[in-house]
Amino acid sequence: MQKHNTSGKLITFCGLDGCGKTTLITMLNEYLTEQGYDVLLTKQPTEEFRRSNIFRSVQDTPDHIGYDYRAMSLMAAGDRLQHCFNTILPALEQGSIVISDRYFYSCLANLKARGYIQDKWIYEILSHAVKPDLAFFLNIDVETALKRVRSRIDERDTYINIELQYRLKSEYEIIAGQYDEITINTAQSISDCFDAVLKHFHNICSSAVA
């Protein structure tokens, strides 16, 4: 990926649904805001794309009649790249801390978990993306993640491909090692998880000053 060379910081969180992203992002946002940082919370793919028919069909149903997953992934990757240059980079140039719920790692993990191992186009697109200053992979066992998702009132009956979740977890673990993501086991207490996040944040800030 491309280093951004700005005064801002890009922090990304990836992992299975139910891994604790929302909780840790909320805690980090509150902490940084209290410390006087200008924070931009964002998400990939964007809300506009998430509301599209093709995305909802692929995500919410077992049979993707009329839609090809590769085609959807290409559209999502384009949305992510556009988001990098139209939203993330301008905020970084203004000195903001940008916190992204999911990033390109999620797109790559999903492609590989669904069997698209030979697709090289995603790496070409990835090479043009903004490189995060901190990339967190929140790791947790599939069973716990599923329980957390099912505990949400609006997601009790949402379609979940359970077999895919196991493959996703495996691919996320591989990608975390390949792309220097910081792995945090979110089966531990939320306070321990947040302490780990803050430790790495302060480390990059200290490095920047040095």
pLDDT at 208 over 70: no
- Percentage, residues of the chain above pLDDT 70: 94
Contacts of residue 35, defined as CB under 8 A and 6 or more positions apart, other chains included, come to none
Give which of 136, 29, 129 is closest to 80, Cα–Cα: 129
Beta-ladder partners of 136: 13, 182
The edge-to-edge listing of strands for the beta sheet with 9-14 is 39-43, 97-101, 9-14, 134-139, 182-185
CATH hierarchy code of domain 9-209: 3.40.50.300
Q: Are 167 and 161 in contact (CB under 8 A)?
A: no
Q: Which helix (H) or strand (E) holds 42?
A: strand 39-43
The pLDDT, as a whole number, for residue 45 is: 93
d(CA 109, CA 12): 15
d(CA 162, CA 3): 36
Contacts of residue 99, defined as CB under 8 A and 6 or more positions apart, other chains included, come to 11, 12, 13, 25, 28, 29, 39, 40, 41, 42
Q: Please write the tens of the pLDDT for every residue from 17-30.
A: 999 999 999 999 99
Higher pLDDT: 157 or 141? It is 141
pLDDT at 210 over 50: no
d(CA 173, CA 179): 10
- Report, as an integer, the average pLDDT of 126-148: 96
- Report, as an integer, the average pLDDT of 182-209: 92
Crossing angle of helices 21-34 and 190-209, rounded to 10°: 50
Higher pLDDT: 117 or 208? It is 117
The residue extents of the domains of the chain are 9-209
- Report, as an integer, the average pLDDT of 180-187: 96
